[in-house]
A and B are shown apart, each in its own frame.
Chain A
Amino acid sequence: VMISARAYGDNGKMKEYHYTGPVEHKFSPYAFNGGTVLAVAGEDFALVASDTRLSEGYSIHSRDSPKCYKLTDTTVIGCSGFHGDCLTLTKIIEARLKMYKHSNNKSMTSGAIAAMLSTILYGKRFFPYYVYNIIGGLDEEGRGAVYSFDPVGSYQRDTYKAGGSASAMLQPLLDNQIGFKNMENVEQLPLTLEKAVQLVKDVFISAAERDVYTGDALKICIITKEGIREEIVPLRKD
């Protein structure tokens, strides 16, 4: 026979009942909508990939909501985290790109977009955009470039980066396969476009196995000097 001891003090007498006052339920301005993004830079190409599932809690909002947004002919940005902030942030970036083009009579380069995004994000340092950004594109010399950000604007140029809900699962595999980490006696060949695309597909299939927020479909944006090509691959839907 069990009796809850919560209402009794150590001396065996019942505790005094205190009304603690009205309980305030805090409103959270953020939500977590899941999703994973990935960008890889090659010798003369860049890849930006994302899954297309939009979720909240245990539910799915949409199976067809890609997280890659085309900015210019040579730059694509992947945004995951809180979908409301992703939409607003991309709107602001697109507006700023137009303003730059009208004032300077040329398109923004990848490096310039990255630097600008950093200042936009830090502008809301005390009420941040809950977005994990990764920019992929070609730099001024035509080489692949990847810039990865944190929610408040700290950024650096990388060769490859994963962000979003399954980032912790993807990043170590990329470190091994692209960065050749923890491997000896391996021929360190430069990454070809075909191998990179296959690796991205494999890595997302693995992420969909173990991360509940990743799945449905994978959209890969392939950026070369010819332009931006898209490839869509189905993933598990459960």
Chain B
Amino acid sequence: MATVSVCQYHRGGFSFENCKRNALLEADINKLGFSSPAARKTGTTICGVVYKDGVVLGADTRATEGMVVADKNCSKIHYISPNVYCCGAGTAADTEMTTQIISSNLELHSLSTGRLPRVATANRMLKQMLFRYQGYIGAALVLGGVDSTGPQLYSIYPHGSTDKLPYVTMGSGSLAAMAVFEDRYRPNMEEEEAKRLVRDAIAAGIFNDLGSGSNIDLCVITKGKVDYLRPHDVDHHLIHICLNFAHGTTGVLTKAVTPLNLEVVEESVQTMDTS
């Protein structure tokens, strides 16, 4: 039957053979009382807006592990190509690896075509990969850039659907950010107004969504120039903690000193090729 042969035919790409083994290992670990490491999600606010001369992308900088802040200043705006950047929400490892893979493939493609990469190409590559994995790669992306066709902005969902829009938001703080956009977005804004709008949308996510916080990163992409503003806005929370521990506060239980008696046998200098 055709269905049987398709099921058993492995043609490159990702192999699910180890899933059964992983399930058994996980059961064994749980029996011993430990738990396997959980995938870290970025409860996030990311957004993008198309303005007169290009696109502005924005993101917060908090990464959470459950309801504990794992990273207070992580970078969520990823490089795809010199004229295309991508914000990522969802599982942190997935957004990082997916954008790196597509960035690499896009560079090779660009060398092959001899042209600057297009945003639509990056969009097509991302959606085809995410659809192939049927939503198991938890990456929700905001892709923006400027190419020969003009400034473009796409939102890409984990299952592989995309939308080409003038303004988009993603992540747990997307509703707060979208509220700001729906209130104040106008077509063909000036650069300062667009930056202010994106900054305010991310700020709405930071203050009203518990999964987002810390600083605001912006990325302004125009024809021929990229302004990667990290951080664009820092949270001015000063921490006054002064805990001074004098020497000898931590008790030393045992001390074992092993002298390593080394002597210089040979010394040579080799110049590095830095050309």
User: Measuring CB to CB, which residues of chain A are less than 8 angstroms from any residue of chain B?
Assistant: 1-5, 8, 12, 14, 55, 57-60, 165, 177, 182-186, 202, 205-206, 209-213, 236-238
Nearest 7 A-B pairs (CB), nearest first? A238-B213, A12-B4, A212-B210, A184-B251, A238-B206, A210-B69, A202-B241
State A206–B7 Cα separation when bound (angstroms). 53
B72 within 8 Å of A by Cβ? Answer: yes
Asked whether, in the complex, the Cβ of A209 is within 8 Å of the Cβ of B72, the reply is yes
CB distance from B242 to the nearest CB of A (A): 8
User: Measuring CB to CB, which residues of chain B are less than 8 angstroms from any residue of chain A?
Assistant: 1, 3-4, 6-8, 11, 13-14, 16, 43, 62, 64, 67-69, 72, 132-134, 172, 206-214, 235, 237, 239-241, 243, 245-246, 248-251
CB distance from A63 to the nearest CB of B (A): 9
Asked whether, in the complex, the Cβ of A58 is within 8 Å of the Cβ of B172, the reply is yes
Asked whether, in the complex, the Cβ of B68 is within 8 Å of the Cβ of A210, the reply is yes
A-B contact pairs, 15 of them (CB 8 A): A1-B11, A2-B134, A3-B6, A4-B134, A8-B7, A12-B7, A58-B172, A177-B243, A202-B241, A209-B72, A211-B68, A212-B43, A212-B67, A213-B67, A238-B212
Asked whether, in the complex, the Cβ of A212 is within 8 Å of the Cβ of B69, the reply is yes
4 more CB-based (< 8 A) A-B contacts, given A14-B3, A182-B251: A2-B132, A2-B134, A184-B251, A210-B69
Q: Which residue of A lies closest to B215 (CB)?
A: A238
| In the complex, number of A-B residue pairs with CB atoms less than 8 Å apart | 86
The SS class assigned to the A binding surface is: loop
Asked whether, in the complex, the Cβ of B1 is within 8 Å of the Cβ of A12, the reply is yes
CB distance from A191 to the nearest CB of B (A): 15
User: Among B132, B209, B251, which residue has its beta carbon within 8 angstroms of that of A59?
Assistant: B209
CB distance from B131 to the nearest CB of A (A): 9
Q: Which residue of B lies closest to A235 (CB)?
A: B237
Q: Which residue of B lies closest to A8 (CB)?
A: B7
